[in-house]
Amino acid sequence: NLRYQLQVAQDALALTTAVAQDSSLEGPGTGLPNSRFLDVWMKGHMHHARRHKETLCVALWEWSRKAPGADAIRKIAQGLRGGDLMVELAPKRVLLLLPQTPREGAQGLLERIAGELGNPPMGATQWLPDRDDLMLGAAMRRAEQARQEAVLARGGITWKQPTEVRLDPGPENADPA
């Protein structure tokens, strides 16, 4: 009887742990994957993308109280391709990652999403495997800058493309003055 009670308690603990782990990977507002899930996803995908020189489109937006809410976001996420990832970074803040997607394809998808969500300001960029870091830091900053520009423009999709890498001139490259 004691062994049975111990087994029941262990099963309940295992179930509770599994539920807690599962819910710790979901955003509370939408049920979309959250930033913890994004970290796991990046570990599995970014090295592969760099090795195979695959670009990645990155889009970022927020939605207001007036815009369609979490139900609309979930519906859009369900319609994405299998390799695409929509993440709830914070309440009412969404990140969309589109592997192996050219800018033109991403633009069309973002226009459709914007139409379904009431045209929120969206920022977008491309992650380039030979220039950007593996944790998407530079691409996320560009997407946020583009989103802020879209906010100033009162909506729409703004792209901020990666610029050429510029090295600081060392003594051997400095202009002689």
The residues, ordered by sequence, that sit 6+ positions from 106 with a Cβ below 8 Å of its Cβ are: 57, 59, 98, 124
The residues, ordered by sequence, that sit 6+ positions from 77 with a Cβ below 8 Å of its Cβ are: 30, 32, 86
The pLDDT tens digits of the residues spanning 51-79 come to 888 889 999 999 765 666 778 888 999 99
Model pLDDT, residue 177 = 43
Residue with tokens 């570990």: 43
More confident residue, 107 or 175: 107
The three-state secondary structure class of 93 is strand
Token duo for residue 122:
């969206």
Q: At 61, which amino acid appears?
A: W
More confident residue, 48 or 111: 111
The pLDDT tens digits of the residues spanning 122-175 come to 999 999 888 888 778 899 999 999 999 999 998 899 999 887 443 344 444 444
Task: Give the pLDDT band of residue 12 (cuts 50, 70, 90).
Answer: low
